[in-house]
Amino acid sequence: MGKGSKDKRDLYYRKAKEQGYRARSAFKLLQLNDQFHFLDDPNLKRVVDLCAAPGSWSQVLSRKLFDENIDTDSEEKKIVAVDLQPMSPIPHVTTLQADITHPKTLARILDLFGNEKADFVCSDGAPDVTGLHDLDEYVQQQLIMSALQLTTCILKKGGVFVAKIFRGRDIDMLYSQLGYLFDKIVCAKPRSSRGTSLEAFIVCLGYNPPSSWIPKLDVNTSVDEFFQGCSFNRLVISDKLSHWNEEERSIAEFMACGSLESFDSDATYHDLPSSIANTISSLDPVQGPTNPPYKKALELKRSGKLTRSV
C-alpha cells in the first residue's frame, strides 16, 4: 500500500508518526489504559513487554513510567522488552532478544528485577495470519499460552496481564482457563483496533493462582503438564463413555475502549479538521527496520549479482 494513501486513510497510522511511536498499535495500549488505568498505578515499578518488536508498546510503557516531570523512585522502575527479533533501543527499556518459552529468558528477567516479581505483563504478539481463521485462532492461542506460562512465573500476586487475542468460536475456553488464575477477565476492543479484525485484547486483573501450585518453566514440559494443579484439564481418561453433561460456557465481559470522539480506525476521512488537513504531508518512518528480510537482496542488486533468470 502506498505511503501517501495510507497516511490519508488511517489517521492512527499518521498520529503514531506525529507523536513518535513506531507503530499505530501504541494507541491500543493507551486506550486500554484509559479504561482500566493499569499504567496509572503509582506503585507500578516492574513491567515486562513480551513479543515487543518493533517496540510501540514499550514506548508507551517508557513514557508512562518515566514521566520527565517526576523523578521520584525512577531508579526502582524497570521495563524489560522481549522478542526473538532485534529491537532498536528505547529510553529506560532493557531489550532482550530471546525466546519467551525458554527458562533462560525467565532467569534473565528475574535477574534484571533483582529476583522481584513483575507488577504488569503485556503481550501484543501475533502470528503471521494466513486468512484461515480457525488456524490463525489456534496459533494465536498457543502464543498466548506460551506468554501465560512465562507470566505465571514472573507476575506477582494481584498483578495484571494483558494480551492480544483473536475472538473465535472456542475463545470461551481461553476465558475459562484464565479464570482459574485471575480474579477478573475482560475482553476489550480499543477504538484504534479495526472493527473488521478478529483482534481484541484480554485484560486479566488480580493474579491469584492456586496456593498449592508452583509454576516451573521447562522446555521439555507440555502446556498441559505445566498447568497441572490449576484445574485446567478436567477430562478423565477412561475406556468407558461417561455420561455427557453440557458445561456452562465462560463468557468474559466485553468492553469497547476509547471515547466516541476518537477516530474510527475503519473510516476514511475526507473532510478533516483544518488543524489536521493543513498538515497533510508524507512522513518518514519513526524507526527504520533493524534487520529487514530484503536487506541482502538489495545488497546483491546493488553489486549486480542479482539477475532475473529466464
Name, in order, each residue with C-beta under 8 angstroms of 97's C-beta and a sequence gap of 6 or more. Answer: 83, 84, 85, 86, 87
The sign of the torsion formed by the CA atoms of 156, 158, 164, 170 equals positive
**Residue carrying the nine cell digits 494480551:** 163
Q: What's the residue count for the chain?
A: 310
Residues known to be catalytic: 164
